[in-house]
Structure 1
Amino acid sequence: MAPVSTRAFSIPRPASSSLGINATLQRLAWLVGSLLVFAILWQIIAEFLQNRYLPTPVAVFDVLMREARNGELWKHTSATLLRVFFAFVISMFIGTAIGLVLGRYKTADRFFDAWLILFLNLPALVTITLCYIWFGLTDAAAVTAVALNKIPNVAVNMREGARSLSKDLSEMAIVYKFGWWKTLRHVTIPQLAPFSAAAARSGLALVWKIVLVVEAFGRSNGVGYKLTIAFQEFDVTTILAYALAFILIVQFIEFTILQPLQARVSAWRR
């Protein structure tokens, strides 16, 4: 009997790159369509009410373009983004380290669990006020205040990730003599990556909101500072223009970096 070729039973693999592009385009279409409907509803309501405290999207866009042309928009958004970046990196690094220790060592987890709950429930306004009193009205104080508010959230996420590490995979790595670096790269990090990505996504949304409060409280630049000035002048159009600009920036980071990253690090579970 002639041997049967295994090619007859091979399953064709989908083109992963084309599937990824199609998924991205589909997400983009839904995003654009949803925002377009929101803008139309906003325009209709604003035109109907004719209230100076509810400007139309067209008026907000005009202010946005004006601020972009005179350089104010880039000046304040760049200052805010820089604070967001440093606070985000510091909180992810420290929070991850704390979470891994608490997840792997039960004694440490039992002892420091009360501390974690305390800082999780500490209002951001208290942390911001204390940091400004202790360290002065500086960028270092602002970044520290934001990081302190985010670290407990990262620690909780990474603690759950450390608890869920597979003992079977760890034992397999020992049996096959992977070594610490190969074990870390091919066994530990892939299991922790989904938890880290989730912490990053939720962290970005939390960090930039707190940064705006920090800037409103004690900085002389940034989106939060600009919103405070607009509030004092009851300038709702400028408030909405700066809010819209920063929302678009954060959504761009979420859509182009964080969502694809989370999908990539979670692919091995399928």
Structure 2
Amino acid sequence: MQRFNPTVSAASDQPWPVRVAWGVGSLVAFLLFWEVLALVIHHRHLPTPTVVFAAMAREFASGELTYHIGMTLFRVVIAFVFAMSIGSAIGIVMGRNGRIDQFFDTWLVLFLNLPALVIIILCYVWFGRTEVAAIIAVAVNKLPNVAVTVREGARALSRDLAEMAHMYRFGWWKTLRHVTLPQLAPYFLASARTGLSLVWKIVLVVELLGRSDGVGFQLSTYFHLFDVSMILAYALAFIAVVQLIEFGILQPIAARVNRWRR
């Protein structure tokens, strides 16, 4: 039998300044390791962090970094909202109706296993290299994941709570707001958090293949120039933005949604 380790469980209960200090310390250690390794190897394809951050600062000062990150975030937000809305609706319907679930389950499996690159190429072929085609390609790649996750939540809805709402004559709006959505909230949140990491990666591929702006386009440009410092500058800048969204928006929402469980 595995023994309970109080140290492991207590780590997550540490005050946030302690957790932040550990995270910052780990990041500083990684940057120091990177700096020393780059200085030892001394190759143009492995620039030091100071060179990368200097390139990032130049791009930010010129406005190029802000513009391209802004365009990528625009596509991420539009595709993310579209995929979450349509995917959640599909998941709820499939989770609550067994016949519809059986009929469309094969479709869902097909789209889950269809490579993202195929969807992107087909969208560009069918709709042209337009903004609409790019957003559709990203949303279609994310939509099946949302549907699968929300479907499991719809299947797990409590019949007792539904019967209680019917007995007390809540009506459809109060039932949706106070009974259904609170039970589905963790599944929505799981879809959102995993979806963000998936969507921004697909957006970069979409931009690399068919757009004239965005972080993916810049990565493609500097790849052809073999400019590793600029590649890392754009990649790290966008990773920082995604992390800010995660810690500044999604995690506070998660804490609020799960507060009733405590």
With structure 2 as the length reference, what TM-score do the two structures score?
A: 0.92
For residues 101 and 26 of structure 1, what CA distance do their matches in structure 2 show? 44
Per-residue deviation at 1:44? 1.6
Select 2:194's aligned residue among 197, 202, 211. Answer: 202
Is the CA contact 1:198–1:262 (under 8 Å) kept in the aligned structure 2? no
Q: Which residue of 1 aligns with 2:106?
A: 114
Aligned residues of 1:103 and 1:161 also touching (Cα < 8 A): yes
1:92 corresponds in structure 2 to 84
Q: Distance in 1 between matches of 2:153 and 2:71?
A: 33
Instruction: Trace 1:31-70 onto structure 2 (pairs within 5 A).
Output: 31-70=23-62
In the alignment, is residue 83 of structure 1 matched against residue 68 of structure 2?
no
Number of residue pairs matched by the alignment: 249
CA distance in 1, matches of 2:112, 2:182: 27
The one-letter code of the counterpart of 1:150 is K
Query: Equivalents in 2 of 1:24, 1:172: separation in Å?
Result: 40
Seen in structure 2, the aligned counterparts of structure 1 residues 23 and 166 have a Cα distance that, compared at 3 Å, is farther
Kindly indicate whether residue 178 of structure 2 is the aligned counterpart of residue 186 of structure 1: yes
- For residue 213 of structure 2, give the secondary structure of its aligned residue in structure 1: coil
Q: Deviation at 1:187?
A: 0.8
Counterpart residue identity of residue 245, structure 1: A
Match of 1:4 in 2: none
**Residue from 195, 207, 229 that aligns with 1:237:** 229
SS of the residue 1:165 aligns to: coil
- Separation of aligned partners in 2, 1:113 and 1:26: 46
Deviations 1:122-163 (A, max 9, x none): 001000000000000111000000000000000001001101
3-state DSSP of counterpart to 1:53: coil
- How many angstroms apart in 2 are the aligned matches of 1:26 and 1:160? 36
| Contact 1:120–1:152 (8 Å) recurs in 2 | yes
- Give the corresponding residue for 2:20: 28
After superposition, the Cα gap between the structure-2 partners of 1:151 and 1:26, relative to the gap in structure 1 and judged at 3 Å, is: farther
Structure 1 residue runs without a partner (length 5+)? 1-21
Q: CA deviation at 1:189?
A: 0.7
Whose Rg is larger?
Answer: 1
Provide, for residues 183-234 of structure 1, a one-character-per-residue CA deviation record: whole Å limited to 9, x for no partner: 1111111100010001000000000000000000010000000000000000
User: AA paired with 2:47?
Assistant: P
1:26 and 1:130 map into 2 onto residues whose CA distance is 48
The alpha-carbon deviation at position 23 of structure 1 amounts to: 4.8
Mapped to 2, the partners of 1:82 and 1:117 lie a distance apart of 29
1:13 corresponds to which residue? none
Task: Summarize the Cα distance change of 1:85–1:104 in structure 2 as closer, same or farther, 3 Å threshold.
Answer: same
Runs of 4+ aligned structure 1 residues displaced above 4 Å come to: none
| In structure 2, distance between residues paired with 1:184 and 1:27 | 37
Which residue number in structure 1 is paired with residue 242 of structure 2?
250
Matches of 1:113 and 1:171, distance apart in 2: 28
Q: Please name the residue that 1:5 is paired with.
A: none
Q: How does 1:2-21 map to 2 (within 5 A)?
A: none
Deviation of the 1:43 alpha carbon: 1.1
In the alignment, does 2:215 pair up with 1:223?
Answer: yes
Once residues 74 and 111 of structure 1 are traced to their aligned partners in structure 2, the CA distance between those partners, rounded to angstroms, is: 46
Matched, 1:143 2:135: yes
Aligned to 1:14: none
8 Å CA contact 1:77, 1:246 repeated in 2: yes
What is the aligned partner in structure 1 of residue 146 from structure 2?
Answer: 154
Q: For residues 263 and 48 of structure 1, do their structure 2 counterparts lie closer, same or farther at Cα, with a shift above 3 Å needed?
A: same
The amino acid across from 1:129 in the alignment is I
Q: Structure 1 residue 33: deviation in Å?
A: 2.4
C-alpha spacing 1:23/1:192, structure 2 compared with 1 (3 Å): farther
> Partners in 1 of 2:18 and 2:138 — Cα distance?
34
Unaligned runs of 5+ in 2: 1-13
Counterpart-to-counterpart distance in 1, 2:178 and 2:19 = 30
